[in-house]
């Protein structure tokens, strides 16, 4: 693995639960000195890593995918877990995946091992795969510092995503700080916790288009997600170096129109991300 002496953020999946031609669902990587730390793993995330490497956007590879931070257990943030367990293993990963996340993550990972037991048995008998590279070790997250090594410190803050146990994460690196909201409505203490970060990556839906949604969906999104109006207010408190939008509900708007809803009330830099966008600190 190359030591590139930088912090790089790669938006692997900028989408939502809705299948889209150009976007896969939620997932991103924060790479420090060439070591990636994944946040969430929706469908297509491992494939996006392969694409990013093929395009020369990254120096690391699927076998370096050893650490994962899960914001919550909705499918669009976790349905790529079997791919993350088994594809890098076939590529040569030798160590178990270490995964941090909410209560229930250990249960999910254990049952994936059971579901793919025949796949594991056959590959171990027929191919020169490592003994441990398909395994996963789950670590239950609580508020506060949940991980640290020589490259990075990771802090967790409870998010507000309805009845689900959910977290936002703050990654503190030598080059700067990245905050990832996960799915959440504006949560108490989030602005103070994220204030002054170099990059804020936040979910969002269109305030302008919300009234046209069916009543049940209108109520749901208002209750568990963040509108452009709410995000502009948060950004004015946090004052991030840059605001990245992901898990974006456009509802027939263009990306630039969604950004305009925020920049009409917030003067900082705002980017509607697409898959494989990168940011360097």
pLDDT in tens, 82-138: 999 999 999 999 999 999 999 999 999 999 999 999 999 998 888 888 889 999 999
At how many degrees (to 10) do helices 255-263 and 228-238 cross?
50
pLDDT in tens, 166-208: 999 999 999 999 999 999 999 999 999 999 999 999 999 999 9
CATH superfamily of 7-280: Ribonuclease Z/Hydroxyacylglutathione hydrolase-like (3.60.15.10)
Report the C-alpha gap between 71 and 74 in whole angstroms.
9
Report the C-alpha gap between 269 and 56 in whole angstroms.
26
Strand order across the 7-13 sheet = 136-140, 97-101, 67-69, 35-39, 27-32, 7-13, 278-280
pLDDT in tens, 217-244: 999 999 999 999 999 999 999 999 999 9
Q: How many CB atoms lie within 10 A of CB 209?
A: 18
Residue ranges of domains in the chain: 7-280
């Amino acid at each position: 693995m190359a030591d590139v002496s930088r912090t790089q953020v790669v938006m692997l999946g900028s989408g939502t639960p809705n299948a889209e031609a150009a976007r896969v669902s939620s997932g991103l990587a924060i790479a420090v000195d060439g070591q990636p730390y994944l946040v969430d793993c929706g469908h297509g995330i491992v494939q996006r890593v392969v694409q990013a490497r093929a395009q020369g956007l990254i120096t690391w590879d699927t076998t370096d995918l050893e650490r994962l931070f899960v914001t919550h257990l909705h499918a669009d943030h976790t349905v790529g877990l079997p791919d993350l367990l088994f594809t890098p293993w076939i590529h040569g990963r030798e160590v178990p995946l270490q995964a941090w996340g909410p209560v229930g993550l250990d249960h999910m990972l254990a049952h994936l091992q059971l579901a793919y037991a025949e796949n594991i048995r056959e590959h171990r008998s027929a191919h020169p795969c490592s003994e441990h590279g398909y395994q996963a070790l789950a670590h239950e997250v609580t508020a506060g510092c949940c991980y640290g090594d020589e490259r990075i410190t990771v802090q967790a803050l409870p998010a507000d995503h309805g009845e689900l146990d959910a977290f936002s994460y703050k990654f503190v690196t030598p080059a700067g700080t990245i905050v990832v909201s996960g799915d959440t409505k504006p949560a108490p203490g989030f602005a103070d916790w994220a204030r002054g970060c170099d990059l804020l990556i936040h979910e969002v839906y269109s305030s302008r288009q919300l009234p046209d949604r069916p009543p049940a969906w209108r109520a749901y999104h208002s209750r568990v997600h963040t509108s452009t109006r709410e995000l502009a207010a948060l950004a004015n408190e946090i004052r991030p170096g840059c605001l990245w939008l992901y898990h974006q509900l456009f509802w027939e708007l263009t990306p630039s129109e969604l950004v305009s809803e925020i920049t009409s009330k917030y003067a900082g830099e705002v980017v509607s991300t697409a898959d494989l966008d990168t940011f360097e600190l």
